[in-house]
Amino acid sequence: MRIGRFGWLVMMIGLTLLPVRLQAHEGEDHGDKQEKGVAQVSGLGTGAQGERFEVVITPDPTGGSLLFLADLFTSAPVDGAAIEVEAGAWQGKAEPTRREGLYRLAWVPPVVGTAEMTIIVTKGESSDLLLVQFVPPVVQKQPVSVPQTAWNRPELPLWAGLAILNGIGLLLIWRRAGRNLHDGGRTPSPPDREPHKERSTVKSVITGILLLAASLMPAFAWSHGGEDHGGEAGNASPAGVALVTGRTVALPKAVQFLLQLRTTEAEAREVSETLRLVGRVIPDPAGYARVQPSALSRVGFDPDLPPPVAGQWVKRGASLAVLNPILSINERNDQQLSLMRGQRSSETTASREMLLAPIDGQITDVHIVPGEVVTESTQMVEIVDPKRVRVEAILYDLAQANRIVSGSARTRIYPERAFPLKLVGVSPKLNAEHQGLHVQFAVEESFGALKIGMPIDVYAATGTVRYPVAIPGSALTERGGIPTVWVKNAPEQFEGRMVRPGRHTAEWVEILEGLAPGDKVVVQGQNQLAAMR
């Protein structure tokens, strides 16, 4: 198929615009990153662990260096320690700062290379020797792509070929135009050649359009010349932010102190074997009272003795309400005979009676309405001692009734607290409604946290059992429905590890797979670690 003038003209336009389109997105990066950019300090320092303490040393932006001191087993910051440091020819002491666990050194760390340090920490009767090989902080380089010009682009040979083809087309059209100009249109074309010329012109235009489309396709294919699609630049983190690699989180010591992160060791433990029971908080009979009238009475009103309100603290013997007993006919007649003056109304009352508090405590319910008639069965005031409560649970496994020796309680309101329980007794009577036995426990340390009527989980201890590897229940979390714990591998490095739990009590969980004795697991701050991933 021959290419006419119009076809060559269209194709030349496409070839001319092609370099412009190719340069439209220059300077972008698709993964061939060049390590030229702005350096950012990750915030991590050089850490070391001894037998009792762990330290992390980082350069101080204001000069010298900073030393973070923490307990090896709990990761809690340590204050008030005496720290002696020797780094090469430099010797000195670490000075405490206002921040807990943070000390300042006058020693200026090297920018490149390493430095051998000897640190002696003394806190009370505990002393520890730590050997540190200081390494300058890790520098994260933010990738910056190098702008690509027309001379360093890989498609330069193609441009050169297209330019040559473009030049040939221009030459042919110029020669064709020159012949037509020289002929001046004086040579007439045969009539039968006119349709052929028109068809040839149409074919030339179509051919030019096809060539134009073909020439623009590479331009669209190369149009993204510098965007970052590799996903690596997103991992560059500023100072003080957790750095994540797989399931590992690198968290600066300063951030750990801020989050109050705490750890404990996984180890073999003798724990109490327990039964989980459903229970509720009930009042202790020694700290509970229901106040009722002694006879049929009408509630009176005394401006000097306002009715009590719920939540009010009262002392034993305090007046709660005024009652005017209502006398029967015989009692009225006897009273009228014994009186020397006047007659009283049909509802003659005897001397006023005061409703008194029988114990010290806090009022929970009040049913006092002046003018109301109350009987001996009317409960007018309820008083409890909130510090004296019991827990009652229901036991369905009757064979375990004689094995229960103690227990502990947990509630969702205080998920991190366990309340020790002392067995009071197991009822020998089977409840007719739920076919279970009532088991009562005394709460040893409630401090008013447990409220009467609160539902609670009771872990009744039935004996002791040994867990080869045990961790606190608070250390176990879930990630996508999979039991997971956070393990501290280094002073500033944590690993999210999947585990397989076994038996558990109110406080401890047996770990069958995933942990070994001595692993330090996070028991406080694990949710913050998971959020930083």
Same domain? For 502 and 484 the reply is yes
Based on the fold, state whether residues 15 and 133 are members of the same structural domain.
no
DSSP string across 169-214: HHHHHHHHHHHHHHHTT-SPPPGGGHHHHHHHHHHHHHHHHHHHHH
Averaged pLDDT for residues 193-208: 52
Q: What is the pLDDT of residue 418?
A: 84
If asked whether residues 167 and 292 sit together in one domain, one would say no
| Statement to judge: residues 379 and 406 lie in one domain | no
Tokens 């007993």, located at residue: 325
Question: What is the spatial distance between Cα 45 and Cα 103, in angstroms, rounded to a whole number?
Answer: 14
Taking 80 as the threshold, does the pLDDT of residue 201 lie above it?
no
pLDDT at 346: 43
Q: Tell me: do 422 and 496 sit in the same domain.
A: yes
Domain with 483, as residue range(s), is 264-279+388-531
> Would residue 17 count as lying in a domain?
yes
State residue 336's pLDDT score: 65
What secondary structure, in 3-state letters, does 427-466 show? CCCCCCCCCCEEEEEEECCCCCCCCCCCEEEEEEEEEEEE
Q: Is 100 in the same domain as 186?
A: no
Residues 462 and 380 in one domain: no
Per-residue HEC secondary structure of 66-110 comes to EEEEEECCCCCECCCCEEEEEECCEEEECEECCCCCEEEECCCCC
**49-96, pLDDT tens digit by residue?**
999 999 999 999 889 999 999 999 999 999 999 999 999 899 999 999
| pTM of model > 0.75 | no
- Residue 253 falls inside a structural domain: no
Q: Which residue has the tokens 């921040």?
A: 99
pLDDT tens-digit profile of 450-500? 888 999 999 998 888 899 999 998 899 888 888 999 999 999 999 999 999
Residue 518 vs residue 247, higher pLDDT: 518
- Does the structure show a pLDDT above 50 at 24? no
Together in a domain, 321 and 182: no
User: What is the average pLDDT score of the chain?
Assistant: 78
**Listed residues 137, 167, 189: the one ending a domain:** 137
417 pLDDT band (50/70/90 cuts)? confident
- Number of domains into which the chain is organized: 4
pLDDT at 221: 46
Regarding whether 354 and 458 lie in a shared domain, the answer is: no
Of 137, 169, 204, the position where a domain reaches its end is: 137
Band (529; pLDDT cuts 50, 70, 90): confident
511 or 210: which leads in pLDDT: 511
How far is residue 457's CA from residue 418's CA, in Å, rounded to a whole number? 10
More confident residue, 178 or 238: 178
Same domain, 289 and 344: yes
133 and 57 in a common domain: yes
Whether residue 228 is contained in a domain is answered as no
**Shared-domain flag, residues 448 and 523:** yes
Task: Identify the CATH number of the domain in which residue 56 sits.
Answer: 2.60.40.10
Domain membership of residue 394 (yes or no) is: yes
